[in-house]
Structure 1
Amino acid sequence: MAQTLVSTCAATACSFNNGGCTVAMTMGERGCATFAKLDARRSVAANGLVGACQRLECVHNSDLVCTAASIDVTADAACAAFEAR
């Protein structure tokens, strides 16, 4: 199963956002659980992926894996693709 691409990330305070998400993130009940507000930036250029999803009520969640083709992360680190079952 292919992992879901993070198309855009507007959470500019996150240390893993360096012109886009640079990690395999976990989406939790309160948004991106991988969000880190530190005085550092990950410099590696990469396309972020959704490694796991804890939003059980989302239609894109199948066995804790996001099945959306891609997602956008909002400024408050929420998943814009979230859709309740």
Structure 2
Amino acid sequence: MATLAELPHVSECTVSGCSYNDHSNCHAGAVTIAGVGGDAQCATFIPLNVKGGLDTVLASVGACQRANCVHNENLSCTATAVRIGAGNDLADCLTFTPR
């Protein structure tokens, strides 16, 4: 199991309407990837005008509920980094690769 220092970072987020997005950087402490079928939704997405998150921390993937992703090992993401952006939904994990 990965330690906090080994969790993959969100290397880019192009979802400008998310409260945690600051200049394509995710400032949530961690994101959760969820969804069904071909959708790997960023479940941390919050479409508010109020900015949230931490000042200096860039998000990691804290949990991945997509057991059918090649990067998923025991519900933890093993990708080097993930990208969040528009997919089936406004905020999806673009690194998602089905098995």
- Fold in common (TM above 0.5): yes
Given the alignment, which residue of 5, 8, 32 partners 1:26?
A: 32
2:12 counterpart SS class? strand
Output the aligned Cα RMSD: 1.3
Q: Give unmatched runs, 5+ long, in structure 1.
A: none
Alignment of 1:6-21 (within 5 A): 6-19=10-23, 20-21=25-26
Aligned partners of 2:42, 2:95: CA distance in 1, in Å?
Answer: 13
Partner in structure 2 of residue 84 of structure 1: 98
Partner in structure 2 of residue 73 of structure 1: 84
Alignment of 1:20-59 (within 5 A): 20-23=25-28, 24-29=30-35, 30=39, 31-42=41-52, 44-59=55-70
4+ residue runs over 4 A deviation: none
TM-superposed CA distance for 1:46, in Å, is: 2.0
| Identity value in percent | 39
TM-superposed CA distance for 1:56, in Å, is: 1.2
TM-score by length of 2: 0.80
Q: Give unmatched runs, 5+ long, in structure 2.
A: none
Aligned partners of 1:11, 1:56: CA distance in 2, in Å?
Answer: 24
Count of matched residue pairs: 85
Question: For residue 45 of structure 1, what is the amino acid of its counterpart?
Answer: T
Q: Which has the higher contact order (CA 8 A, sep 6+)?
A: 1
